[in-house]
A and B are shown apart, each in its own frame.
Chain A
């Protein structure tokens, strides 16, 4: 026995800056606690306790974040856990964005007033179409496992935007994706559509993850390490052929662009947005985009900045394709959720313009602009989907555009708020969407991407057309006599929609505070 002990090598545990990663640990720890509660609590207590735990976690994590951000910390950021997690200013901004957007999403997820029992099925294992399924459609229980799944997805997203090496990024990508695949299949109404959305998202997501992983493998072969800084160093000078670098970059970017719903890798977006339960769509549309673009920004800025002249052209083309697909195909949509999905593809194109705006001097003016746009877009999206969940008929949500005709006559407040949100998505002045587009396009021009900005403006105009079409439909058409009603939302949905709309307005009128905060500091390299 002594021989073994003597010969055992002492392993040095890595240094962990607990203060820096406290928000992340709070979220993941609460997710595990949530699973435990799921196992121990009787059914009737679960919803209330899980809701309190989840909202409390989000508030607590935000508090820990604010405490760390305002304390003494290195300005250039901290790489902790053996360099796996980088807590720098953009990380903190993205974490705050994710936590607040998740707060809004959880309110929508937990809401049980718009649909009795909530938007989630009571027992997902019961087959749709059977007698038991018809019986459970009106029961007021829900699968409260959605709360721990949301927390795990949020933990994965927070790790994804802060990960400093590609392996942590891959594991975080999977941690954020698997709960979302599951949650997409749990709708209460239209379960067949929901299950189909889950299968499509899963198969395409796994396919894209495999491409991401092959990219990671090739970059490891090129650089000898998967740390982003090591890849940047290797790109500056190594004896390996550049082919490996660019092949790896290409494959890596395919995986990232899939997650961010950038065309031409967007094929899952309309189907999944339409089929998933609306609160989950809101969570995905807002938070997954923030996480995905956070990852794209970090990878492009830290690992590939020195090689930008080689890959800029390709991403230029991808951004154009995405904007064109989003704008043009959005025009043909007749379903509100699909329309918002295609508009999100167009917005992903705009965000990609911000991500590739790197100047030759090495500054990245696009980073702060993209961060601001992500925040603004996230809030607008959550509020928009909150309103979509209010328009209902006997079948559930009425998402066909024809059913939205004349909505203003029946419910002027809801129509008014939705109009404001659509104008924000279109980028009309006085909304956060306008400021977001303005800063992104300015950064792009500064980086020498002027033709891209022209195409973007044209695409914006085309996209504005289909937003305006919905507004005109709501205000200037006659409502169908047997049309849908607008449910009066309960407290949770009201708070979520109000939060989104107010932030959209405030960021449109007084954006400097957030713009300055987004602009402090750059990525840790």
Chain B
């Protein structure tokens, strides 16, 4: 009863690559070129991260390294891992680093003055020594070993992704489930260290509560009158007038009332009609 489109789609999805018989794994020219471009790039990124003064620059150099490593995984017959490296490691984790650096760590650049004398020199010597040791031992260790390659594993039973999935649910099932504990702990930790709860302080009153309060107290229900109309003056200190011509006390602000009255006397006089009268040369409307 399925639609032809669905049939075509499921046939497409169910395609498997032709199973490859065991092939001796050799390093092709393409792979060699990619390695010699990306390898030094990754190293440059690492050294850039180490020597950059600005922390944000360090993070960006590390992004360069991680992207190169992502491509190196892809050419080493680990396509899924290459994509996960770029999407998850570079795309999520390094972006998180950049966020935090922008928020907190940007301004503090490392000082040149050393706290422990000779620490940098000692660390550099130790690092070079360790590098020489590791490179020497690893380099000598595998000279006679023939690489088996993953051609078979990547083309049977669902390919690279399918086989990784199978392993996750059979051989490494418990480790897979245990990482959930790790992720819960991470979420819990972030919450503890970053979330300030509302601690018994009363919440802000809602609009409804404010209105009820205003009505119950029996005070004025409407809003208070604003300052005087801007026909005669444009100062906020201008009092509003009630219908009988008297000044409305409620439109006066305490702050302005505290102002020295002499500075406001002109405005008050204007309103009361005792202010400065224009002389005969002033332009008037059709009043006279």
Contact = CB atoms under 8 A, between A and B. Distances in A.
Interface in B1-34: 2, 6, 10-11, 13-14, 16
A222 B14 CA distance: 37
Interface string B181-198: 110111011011111110
B185 A152 contact: yes
B192 A167 contact: no
Contacts of A244: 137-138, 141-142
Given A4-B14, A35-B188, A124-B193, A81 B174 contact: yes
Nearest to B162: A9
Interface string B119-156: 00000000000000010011011101100000000000
Majority-rule SS of B interface residues: helix
Contact of A243 (B16, B137, B194, B199): B137
B3 to A, nearest CB: 10
A502 interface: no
Nearest to A222: B141
A175 B181 contact: yes
A226 to B, nearest CB: 10
Contacts of B184: 31-32, 35, 148, 152
A519 interface: no
Interface in B216-273: none
A83 B170 CA distance: 10
Nearest to A3: B14
A239 interface: yes
A14 B170 contact: yes
A171 B176 CA distance: 9
Contacts of B174: 81-82, 84-85, 159, 168
A178 B185 contact: yes
Contacts of A179: 185, 189
A397 B140 CA distance: 56
Contacts of A136: 199
A109 B276 CA distance: 81
A178 B157 contact: no
Contacts of B6: 1
B30 to A, nearest CB: 25
Interface in B167-212: 169-175, 178-179, 181-182, 184-186, 188-189, 191-197, 199
A443 B285 CA distance: 117
B192 A14 contact: no
Contact of B13 (A4, A11, A243): A4
Interface in A148-189: 148-149, 152, 155-156, 159, 167-168, 171-172, 174-175, 178-179, 181-182, 185-186
Most chain A Cβ neighbours within 10 Å, of B138, B174, B192: B174
B192 A4 contact: no
Contact of B178 (A175, A218, A240): A175
Nearest to B190: A182
Contacts of B140: 241, 243
A254 B268 CA distance: 86
Given A125-B196, A152-B185, A11 B10 contact: no
A240 B145 contact: yes
Contact of B10 (A4, A28, A125): A4
A12 interface: yes
A126 B10 contact: no
Interface residues of B, number: 43
B256 to A, nearest CB: 34
B170 A174 contact: no
B190 to A, nearest CB: 9
A11 B195 contact: no
Interface in A240-272: 240-241, 243-244, 247
Given A14-B173, A178-B185, A9 B191 contact: no
Contacts of A218: 138
B170 A125 contact: no
B166 interface: yes
A171 B175 contact: yes
Contacts of A314: none
Contact of B197 (A11, A123, A174): A123
Contacts of B195: 125
A143 interface: yes
A7 interface: yes
Contacts of B182: 171, 174-175, 178
B170 A167 contact: no
B35 to A, nearest CB: 18
Contact of B192 (A174, A178, A186): A186
Contacts of A185: 193
Contacts of A159: 174, 178
Nearest to A21: B174
B181 A126 contact: no
Given A4-B13, A84-B173, A168-B174, A11 B166 contact: yes
A13 interface: yes
Contacts of B173: 13-14, 81-82, 84
Interface string A119-143: 0001111100000000010010101
A168 B13 contact: no
B158 interface: yes
A196 interface: no
A123 B158 CA distance: 50
A335 interface: no
Given A7-B14, A149-B188, A13 B169 contact: yes
Given A13-B170, A125-B193, A244-B137, A175 B14 contact: no
Given A81-B174, A178-B185, A241 B141 contact: yes
Query: Which 4 residue pairs across A and B have the least CB separation, nearest first?
Result: A241-B141, A243-B137, A81-B174, A182-B189
10 contacts: A1-B2, A7-B14, A35-B184, A82-B171, A149-B189, A159-B174, A178-B186, A182-B189, A186-B192, A221-B142
Given A2-B10, A28-B178, A159-B174, 13 more contacts: A3-B11, A28-B181, A82-B174, A84-B172, A125-B193, A126-B196, A148-B188, A156-B181, A168-B178, A172-B178, A243-B138, A244-B138, A247-B134
